[in-house]
Structure 1
Amino acid sequence: MERCGQWPADSPWLREAFAALPRDRFAPQRLWRWDGWAYVPVDRAADPDGWASELYGGVSSAAVTQLTGGLPSSSLSAPGAVADMLDSLRLEPGHRVWDVGTGQGWTAALSAWRAGPGLVVSSEVDERLAGFARERLAAAGLDAEVRTGDATRGGVPGGGQVDRLHATYAVESVPWSWVEAVRPGGRIVYPWGRLGYVALTVADGGAGARGWVHGLAQFMGDRHAPAQATDGPAAHVAVRAGADPQVRRVLDRDPAGLEDWDLRFAVRVAVPDAVLTTEQGPEGPAVLVHDGALSWAEFRAGADGRPVLLQGGPRRIGDEVMAAWDQWERLGRPELYDYGVTLTPDAQWAWHGSPDGPRWPIAQPAPAGR
């Protein structure tokens, strides 16, 4: 963290908390490593060095701790992302905290170290994970409560309101119950869908919440939400299913431009279900796009060396990506930090520059009871 400059300057307490509560105290004896084809187990007893390398692979590396159906369903989040998000939470001693998505209990532990005894309650939908986290929190001597339940469908366990809400799994739209759970002036920090995380401040009277995008992050999604499309060339191949392109056209720009993370974030805002993957080929990088269902596109060099767009399926998702790219250019190629999110009881939207600037609706489920 020190070598990479990852310690947030405004939250020096995080360095102390990380030292007091290292990740290995909250890691299970088995982790999972991607070998290029599938996830394979890495057991601490059989391969302690490999286990440690997987756990401390880097400040931007999560450690997979659980598989469901062969795919990751829980992890210890990347240390850099955890530090950034807790810095954005602006957590102070005495704050009451709702930690949403306990996992192995590490973020609940860090929050409890800062807030104080009896002030952190954490929700976990998986009873086995909840039990594991309770054991690790108790072993660390921390007074933090772990409740089993679905945080996207209810309020604060035990009732009342909190000063801070920190989510460790991604949601595209924020449950309104989360806004109701936080006192006016309080903070909500959450991973936003496929990419990015947002820090919101709850308005006076609890009438809404808004705030800025604070960084890049990719987290596992809500288990009860519609499944998100998976990343990687294999997922694109599955959507394309061997179909020939229905549309082919020459482009006036280099597809390599789509490797810019600020542009990718702009595409994420405008076309939230588009999955972009870069594949290296003999003619250079190709950007593959799909929607996780039936539509796909490929930005690549053509046979004559000129860039081309190929696409197929019921929607022209490549054209949608191009439109988002054009809009990003017209806006002056903004950074991801130039975007924000506003929530009201009836609508949610992303915006650029200011809450009154260009906006994009965020799809949300109907409020409970409607």
Structure 2
Amino acid sequence: MAGRGQIVPELDRLAGALAEQMAGRGDWPSRSPWIRAAMEALPRHLFAPDLLYHWDGRAYVPVDRRTDPDGWTRLVYADPDTAAVPQVTNGLPSSSLSCAAVVADMLDSLLLEPGQRVLELGTGTGWNAALLARRAGHGRVASVEVDEGLAGAARERVEAAGTPVDVRVADGALGLPEGAPYDRVIATYAVPRVPWTWVEQCAPGGRIVFPWGPLGHVALTVAPDGRSASGRVQGLAQFMSARGAEDRARDYAAVRGTGPADGERPVHRDLTPLHEGYGLRFALRVAVPGLRLTTAVDEDGVNAWLHDGHGSWASLTAEPDGTTTARRGGPRRLADEVEHAWDRWRALGSPGPREYGMTVHQDRQYVWCLDPATGPRWPVGDGAPAQPRPAH
């Protein structure tokens, strides 16, 4: 077994290799050169606990740095797009050391300047908080973490790295009111709706960056009067949900059950874009709240399975004769909703994900497309069916 002293030079080498790999892919934001400098000064292995978890195809299994340093190292520096898992709860990841490419993208979206006051929601391992502190300066970053154990360990790591952060044990949805207003607010976990406290605690003209559901991260700017915040989708990576709000929806098999379908009909369109087009899939997730979509290709063509995590499902099955059949069950007609949203998206000119944005008010929030004032809108809800509304 390699000793800790033996693997540190290897970790430094891998940190450098990761930085070069990101440079070769164009992952380092040109407008934020401070991010690469910060990541090179604060490599991710300094914030990785000795125990990480690896998915072996059936379950998450522990990998201990003290007994398997090579395996641990591979998890920390897998590639720019892979997160490391330091905590598993009830068989599912409940914390992560986020992948480097996503961290860089979100920090760039924050447009952080030295001296600005920052509130981070979800301390996790402390790596992102340390990067923020290196940019903002001493005493300028506060971070809240609902897990007391994670908070304590992160506090020790950021202090050891020379980037002290005010780490508090609290619910991120409540923010940290005693330090408000903040110039920047950033969340490291996904939320289906933006807590209004985040807007309240961010100064007018301030910026809020957060992962929205499973669709990517959004950057909002708080209006001058502080009564709303609005901005566009910035990136497309997926994130872990808020603690206690992990996806409690049932999977397709549980929603489908074993009973007969409530009905079926032919599908008169090529499903290839549904399988290959991320822009279309993004648009459908916006327009059909609660939609879970899986596709696969077999010898007959593209197949799709839709469900809402609760009680409605649909299957789009490629048949041997070259046709496609939609079968459904539950109160919603998900295949109809998807086809309607698909047609609407094409009528809009097939906009890409970054042509979508979000506006948040205290009593309502909605996603818009193309233009926040004149484009179509979809209310941000809890998964109930929604239809686009005209702007007003």
TM range, smaller chain: over 0.9
Which of 205, 210, 214 in structure 1 is aligned with 2:234? 214
- After superposition, where does 1:1-370 map in structure 2 within 5 Å? 1-152=22-173, 154-156=174-176, 158-225=178-245, 227-229=247-249, 235-259=251-275, 260-356=277-373, 357-363=375-381
- Distance, in Å, in 1 between the alignment partners of 2:98 and 2:260 is 39
Letter in 2 for 1:252: H
Shift, 1:210, TM fit: 0.3
8 A contact 2:177–2:201 mirrored in 1: no
1:132 shift after superposition: 0.9
Could you say what secondary structure the match of 1:217 adopts?
A: coil
**Alpha-carbon deviation of 1:228?**
4.5
Q: How far apart in 2 are the matches of 1:261 and 1:181? A: 34
Equivalent position SS for 1:2: helix
> 2-side partners of 1:136 and 1:254: how far apart?
52
SS of 2:179's partner is coil
The one-letter amino acid paired with 1:361 is P
Contact 1:256 1:287 (C-alpha < 8 Å) held by counterparts: no
Query: What is the TM-score of this pair, normalised by structure 2?
Result: 0.88
Aligned mates of 2:69, 2:101 — CA distance in 1: 23
Are the counterparts in 1 of residues 155 and 164 from structure 2 also a CA contact under 8 Å? no
Unaligned runs of at least 5 residues, structure 1 = 366-370
CA separation in 1, counterparts of 2:144 and 2:328? 42
For residues 327 and 43 of structure 2, what CA distance do their matches in structure 1 show? Answer: 48
How far residue 283 of structure 1 moved from its aligned partner, in angstroms, is: 2.9
Moved more, 143-152 or 252-261: 252-261
> Partners in 1 of 2:59 and 2:273 — Cα distance?
30
Residue 237 of structure 1 aligns with an amino acid whose one-letter code is A
The answer to whether the 8 Å contact 2:366/2:377 transfers is yes
Matched-pair contact (CA < 8 Å) for 2:290–2:382: no
Deviation track 1:268-288 (CA, whole Å, cap 9, x = no partner) reads 111131111233434344222
Range that drifts further, 117-126 or 291-300: 291-300
Shift of residue 248 of structure 1?
2.2
Deviations 1:39-90 (A, max 9, x none): 1222222222222222222222121211111111111112111111110000
Hey, what's the Cα distance between the residues in 2 that align with 1:104 and 1:343? 29
Gaps of 5+ in 2: 1-21, 384-392
**Percent identity over paired residues:** 54
Cα distance, 1:35 vs structure 2? 1.9
Greater Rg, structure 1 or structure 2? 2
Whether contact under 8 Å (2:120, 2:185) holds in the other structure is yes
Q: Distance in 2 between matches of 1:213 and 1:139?
A: 35
Kept in 2, the 8 Å contact 1:256–1:286? The answer is no
In structure 1, the partner of 2:9 is none
Compute the RMSD of aligned alpha carbons: 1.7
Give the SS at the match of 1:318: helix
Whole-angstrom distance in 1 between the partners of 2:177 and 2:130: 17
Change (3 A) 1:62 1:228: farther
Query: Separation in 1 of the partners of 2:360 and 2:120?
Result: 20
Counterpart of 1:368? Answer: none
